[in-house]
Amino acid sequence: MWFLVTSCCGLGTALLTSFPIENLLRYILVLPLFGAFVLCAMPGNAVKLHRVWALAISLITLVLCTSLWASFVPCATEPFQQVIGFSAGWQGLVLVRLEFGIDSLSLWMILLTAALMPLAVLCSWTTQTSHSMSFMALLLLLESCLFGAFTALDLLSFYVLYECSLLPMFLLIGLGGSGPRKVRAAYLLVLYTLVGSLAMLPCMLLMWSQAGSTSFLLLVHENWEPARQLVLWWGLFLAFAVKVPMIPVHLWLPEAHVEASTAGSVLLAGVLLKLGTYGLLRFNLSLFDYANAYYGPLVMCLSLIGLIYASLTTLRQVDFKKLVAYSSVAHMSMVTLALFTMSDLGMIGATFLMLAHGIASPALFLCVGSLYDRSHTKALKYLGGAATAMPLFSIMLFVFSLCNMAMPLTPSFLAEFLCLCSIFAHNGAALFLALIAVVLAAAYSMWAYARVVHGMPKPYAFKALADLNRREFWCFVPLILMTIWLGIKPNAVLDSLSTSITFWHQASLATKETAPATWALALL
């Protein structure tokens, strides 16, 4: 394993010396897709070759993304850098130009995706043997689609890549899932997301008919009429609300997590849910300032309901994996609640919470996967006493349980503190309800940890009780390092995020106080 990591780092360094820095984004977008095509050409029974190739491609991609981050310099006047475009036409009648670029927001989403992909490959190292070629190729294809969605500067290309990310996830649940309802869970994921996206495409076409373009760089300067904003805003919001997910369109998420493999849950919680909040922050909050102020109280009400409801529902779960899934719904509700305070502080805190959740939640799903590989059950009543024979696992679960409940010196603490400060500046009653959810988060995190780690071990569940092996340990090490780094030195993220978010939301701040509020303001 160490030889493979060292070889990939050396190959990544060689690629960096031969490729110009300004073309890094192009190679990052294409490399996972190239790796997926090569995998499909390999023999179907070469299981070890499939795993090694997928891990090598994901590690090289991570090295390229790290180099892209090292060369990125935030600019207050020109947030997007390394903008690349691909043009295609047909007899002068149809002209399509796809634009991709990075700013601070998309850069951190790319880094999160690239960091989680090798972990998804490693945690599937011994479990995915019957469909290893298809499974690993789908992981790389999903990575390429996510890179494209996070960097797309054209609304139609974003829509296509946003929908394309569904197909690999659908097949990953179907191929890698272990539960009897995995096909139903995969169809729930696709149907919920497709129904929400049906409203997004007509709205994008309406924007194209008025502005003559679907380029985000042009649409952000378009003067939309207030009445038209109120219609267009709903089309985008419905699609992103399903992906977040917000109450009441959240029912697909616990089902998908329970039936998916560990790798599927890691990517679903770590990255795919962030597509919804990324879309809200990138498009809704940047394009429709009047509609944001008009519908903002309604979204905050829905977020508060989802925050309290998901926290209480998490407390009564008896399945460890479903407990972590419902906690994700609660944390993402906190993100949307802070986003629609429409303040710079709230948006920066919400984005940082997205990154913190993208570290803690995949780590907890890795813990669930490690337990399931040994005991073949996720029911909490059959788990217990892990500290007696699994001390290393117990330490990992303890650290990430603290991160999930937002203890100081973890990134979740600072992220939730920034979110709560923005909520307090907006509305005191909303802060009171959010604080109740914070207390509930501590309750269900410690309750689950105590049920799994303490007490008497259950010999009928743990027939071969063993601590983390070397491969599982190295899955946790990067997440531990990122947690410590972001918890102690959050300025590495916050400084760059503030530059991009402040640039894009000046207009929203200027019109927030003058736009009328909806009836939902009375509920706050």
**Which tens digit of pLDDT belongs to each residue from 273-284?**
899 999 999 888
Residue whose structure tokens are 């985008």:
236
Query: Residue 441 has what pLDDT?
Result: 92
What is the structure's pLDDT at 217? 82
Nearest to 169 by CA among 251, 92, 268: 268
Q: Given the structure tokens 């300032």, which residue do they identify? A: 289
Q: Any idea where the domains of the chain sit in the sequence?
A: 2-523
- Residue 238, pLDDT > 70, answer yes
Q: Of residues 89 and 373, which shows the higher confidence score?
A: 373
Weakest mean pLDDT among 14-28, 71-85, 243-257: 14-28
Say whether pLDDT at 362 is over 90.
yes
**Residue predicted with more confidence, 95 or 401:** 401
In sequence order, the 6+-apart residues with CB closer than 8 A to the CB of 255 are 181, 184, 185, 188
pLDDT band at 87; cut points 50, 70, 90: low
Residue with tokens 């300025």: 491
Extract the tokens encoding 445.
């995190």
How high is the pLDDT of residue 519? 37
Please list the residues that pair with 129 across neighbouring strands.
none
**pLDDT at residue 511 greater than cutoff 60:** no
* Distances from the Cα of 63 to the Cα of 28, 56, 106, 355, angstroms: 10, 11, 17, 19
Mean pLDDT of 263-278: 90
Average pLDDT over the chain reads 83
- For 148, residues 6+ apart whose C-beta sits below 8 A from its C-beta are 29, 100, 157, 161, 164
**35, 64 Cβ separation under 8 angstroms:** no
Q: Report the share of the chain in percent with pLDDT over 70.
A: 85
Q: Which carries the bigger pLDDT value, residue 25 or residue 9?
A: 25
SS (H, E, C) 303-322: HHHHHHHHHHHHHCCCEHHH
Task: Report the SS3 class of residue 91.
Answer: coil
Q: Pick from 387, 120, 471: which is nearest to 263 by CA?
A: 120
The residues, any chain, with a CB within 8 Å of residue 299's CB and separated by 6 or more, are 237, 336, 340
**Minimum mean pLDDT range among 184-198, 223-237, 336-350, 478-492:** 184-198
Which pLDDT belongs to residue 91?
A: 54
Of the listed ranges 59-63, 177-181, 304-308, 401-405, the one predicted with least confidence: 177-181
Q: What is the pLDDT of residue 412?
A: 92
Cβ-contact 125, 263 below 8 angstroms: no
pLDDT at 82 over 70: no
Q: Quote the pLDDT of residue 146.
A: 93
Statement: residue 39 has pLDDT above 50: yes
Which pLDDT score, from 0 to 100, does residue 524 have?
Answer: 40
